[in-house]
Amino acid sequence: LVGKFLALGLAFSSIGLSSFAFNPLFQLLVEMYAWRGALLILGGLSLNLVPCGALIHPQQQSKSPEEKVDSQSRSSLTAVLRRVFSYLQLQLLLERPYLTYSLAVTLLNIGYFVPYFHLVAHSRQAGFSEYEAAFVVSAAGATDIFGRVASGWFSDLGHFRLIHLLSLWTTLAGVFIILLPVSSLSGSYAALILISLLYGFCSGALTSVVFAVVPMIVGVDRMMEALALLQLIESSAGLLGTPLSGFLKDITGNYIASFAVAGSFPILCTLTLATLPHYFSCTDPPAPQRRSQDNKDKGLPSKP
């Protein structure tokens, strides 16, 4: 049987496949149809996400008597805010472990996407051809696939805690981001490819673990709500890293400072993870359990 973390890595491996194929494909489309035509084609491909999303239907759940009564008062602003607060599970942000973990993943995302956006431009600036520059990101995308699968397989072995494995992969990813522009200072294309391969492996390896840690932070019964809120928070950080890197490039004239700053954020992520409760323990603490809402409303103690 396939282990649960290996299955997670396999499920995410298609992202690395798209990273591998995108840059040479986009370069070919630009040469054939110019950049406007290339963007139109990519936009048409992206629209295929709409019917895919339309095929996803939430499970139908019968309404409890309390929900039926509450549905009569939805028009009031207080009721609407209460429902939004309940759907987003914002009360998770009041729990220190979840808040710390969300901050760590947010810091990670600031630097995580920078190589995929600026590595081609940096390679061109270093003197490599258009297709050589595009292949650098494709190489990272290829090892990204292997990193996701290998990380899932290694996590299933259970030799190390997931939080420690995540710290290892994020630290290595940050170091390799910093080394990306340094490796091309000598004009060696082989060195740039090597560091790109290593970065791709580590960036893929951490994605198989970053979501698997969430149930250990909040418990299995709140995993879906916690994942949704985490992705809502971390997505904003992904919008900050690339403009910041572009701004640093405009100031300095090259991408050395851009990648150095971007690589520091995954390392800051690791330092933030180290502040989690029981981080230095060799075994996982018991996962928290959701309190029974009925017992809470009646003033009864929750079940252990």
For 56-98, give the DSSP string: --PPP-PPPHHHHHHHTTTTSHHHHHHHHHHHHTGGGGGSHHH
Residue 59 lies in a domain: no
* Position 40 pLDDT exceeds 70: yes
Over residues 234-269, the pLDDT tens digits come to: 888 878 888 999 999 999 998 999 999 999 999 999
pTM of the entire predicted model = 0.75
* Whole-angstrom distance, CA of residue 198 vs CA of residue 206: 13
pLDDT value for 228: 81
| Average pLDDT of the segment spanning 52-61 | 66
Residue 292 lies in a domain: no
- Alpha-helical (H) ranges within the chain are 4-46, 49-54, 65-71, 77-88, 96-112, 114-125, 130-157, 162-183, 189-210, 214-218, 223-252, 256-273, 293-298
Number of domains observed in the structure of the chain = 1
Asked if 202 and 172 touch (Cβ cutoff 8 Å), the reply is: yes
113: closest CA among 212, 229, 254, 258?
258
Range of the domain at 245: 4-47+90-274
Residue 176 lies in a domain: yes
CATH of the domain at 25: 1.20.1250.20
The number of beta carbons lying within 10 Å of the beta carbon of residue 97 is: 18
pLDDT value for 274: 95
* Whole-angstrom distance, CA of residue 13 vs CA of residue 18: 9
pLDDT value for 300: 42
Residue 280 lies in a domain: no
| DSSP 8-state code for residue 281 | -
